[in-house]
A and B are shown apart, each in its own frame.
Chain A
Amino acid sequence: MKKLSARIQVLRRAEVGDCIVDVAWNAAGTQVAAAAVHGPLVILAVTNPAEPIHLPGHAGGALALAWTAANVLASGGQDGHVRWWDVSTGALNRAEAAGSPWVGQLAVSATGILASGAGRSVRMWNDKGELLRAWAPRASTVNGMQWHPQQSILAASHYGGISLLLESCPADQDEDRLLPLKGSQLQVVWSPTGAWIATATQDRAVHMWRVMDADDCEMTGFPEKIQGLLWYNRGSHLISVSGTEVLLWDCRGAGPMGRSAVQAADAEVHAHLIQATALEPESRWLATGDSSGKVVIWKLGIKDHLTRSLETWQAAAGISALRWSPDGATLAVGDEHGQLTLLNLVGFDRQ
Chain B
Amino acid sequence: MNSNKRVPVTVLTGFLGSGKTTLLNRLLTEQHGQKIAVIENEFGEIGIDHHLVIGAEEEIFEMNNGCICCTVRGDLIRILGNLLKRRDRFDRILIETTGMADPGPVAQTFLVDPEIARQTVLDGIITVVDAAHIRQHLDDGSDESRSQIAFADVIILNKIDAVPPDALSAVLDRVRGINAAAVVHQAVRCEVDLQALLDIGGFDLERVLRDRPDFLEAERGFEWLGVFDHDGSHKELQFSPGPDAEIGVALIPLTGTDEPEALATAAFLQRPTPYTAPHLLRPSPAPYEIPVTNAITVPIAAPAGRYVLATQHGPEEFAVDLAAWNMRLEQRFAANHTHDDRVGSVGIERLGAVDGKRFQAWMSSLLQTHGADIYRSKGVLHVAGYPARYVFHGVHMLMDGAAGAPWKPNEERRNMLVFIGRNLDREALHAGFTACLA
Contact = CB atoms under 8 A, between A and B. Distances in A.
Given A141-B59, A159-B59, A202 B77 contact: yes
B61 A202 contact: yes
Contacts of B114: 204, 223-225
Interface residues of B, number: 23
Contact of B85 (A37, A102, A201): A37
Interface stretch (B62-70, B267-275, B364-372): B62-70
B425 interface: no
Contact of A202 (B2, B57, B113): B113
B258 to A, nearest CB: 56
B75 interface: yes
B8 interface: no
B53 to A, nearest CB: 9
A318 B1 contact: yes
B38 to A, nearest CB: 13
B115 A225 contact: yes
B86 interface: yes
B1 A38 contact: no
Contacts of A204: 114
Contacts of B115: 224-225
B57 A336 contact: no
B74 A141 contact: yes
A203 to B, nearest CB: 4
Contacts of B1: 291, 318, 336
Interface of B (DSSP majority class): mixed
Contact of B54 (A78, A201, A203, A291): A78
Contacts of A228: none
B78 A141 contact: yes
A320 interface: yes
B64 A140 contact: no
B86 A143 contact: no
Interface string A298-316: 0000000000000000000
B55 interface: yes
A201 B77 CA distance: 13
A202 B78 CA distance: 11
B82 interface: yes
B386 interface: no
A184 interface: yes
B113 A225 contact: yes
A101 B72 CA distance: 21
Interface string A177-191: 000001110000000
Contacts of A320: 85
B43 interface: yes
Contacts of B63: 183, 202-203
Interface in B68-114: 72, 74-75, 77-78, 82, 85-86, 113-114
Interface in A137-186: 140-141, 143, 159, 182-184
A63 interface: yes
Contacts of B85: 18-19, 21, 37, 320, 336
A258 B119 CA distance: 36
B43 A101 contact: yes
Nearest to B85: A19
Contact of A336 (B2, B54, B65): B2
Nearest to A38: B86
Contacts of A317: 2
B74 A140 contact: yes
Interface in A53-89: 60-61, 63, 78
A256 interface: no
A183 B54 contact: no
Contacts of B65: 203
B61 A140 contact: yes
A289 interface: no
B106 to A, nearest CB: 16
A52 interface: no
A104 interface: yes
B82 A63 contact: yes
Contacts of B113: 202, 225
A78 to B, nearest CB: 7
Nearest to A160: B61
Interface string B112-135: 011100000000000000000000
Interface in A98-118: 100-102, 104
Contact of A182 (B55, B62, B77, B82): B62
Contact of A141 (B55, B64, B75, B86): B75
A182 B59 contact: no
A201 B59 contact: no
A119 interface: yes
Contacts of B74: 140-141, 159, 184, 202
Nearest to A272: B1
Nearest to B114: A224
A317 B72 CA distance: 31
A183 B55 CA distance: 23
Contacts of A38: 86
A38 B55 CA distance: 15
30 contacts: A18-B85, A19-B86, A37-B85, A60-B54, A63-B82, A78-B54, A100-B57, A101-B55, A102-B78, A140-B59, A141-B74, A141-B78, A159-B61, A159-B74, A183-B62, A184-B61, A184-B74, A184-B77, A202-B61, A202-B63, A202-B113, A203-B63, A203-B64, A203-B65, A291-B1, A317-B2, A318-B1, A318-B2, A320-B85, A336-B1
Given A78-B54, A183-B62, A291-B1, 11 more contacts: A37-B86, A104-B78, A119-B57, A140-B61, A141-B75, A183-B64, A202-B63, A202-B74, A225-B113, A336-B2, A336-B85
Closest 7 CB pairs of A and B: A183-B64, A19-B85, A203-B64, A37-B85, A182-B64, A184-B61, A140-B59
Interface of B: 1-2, 43, 54-55, 57, 59, 61-65, 72, 74-75, 77-78, 82, 85-86, 113-115
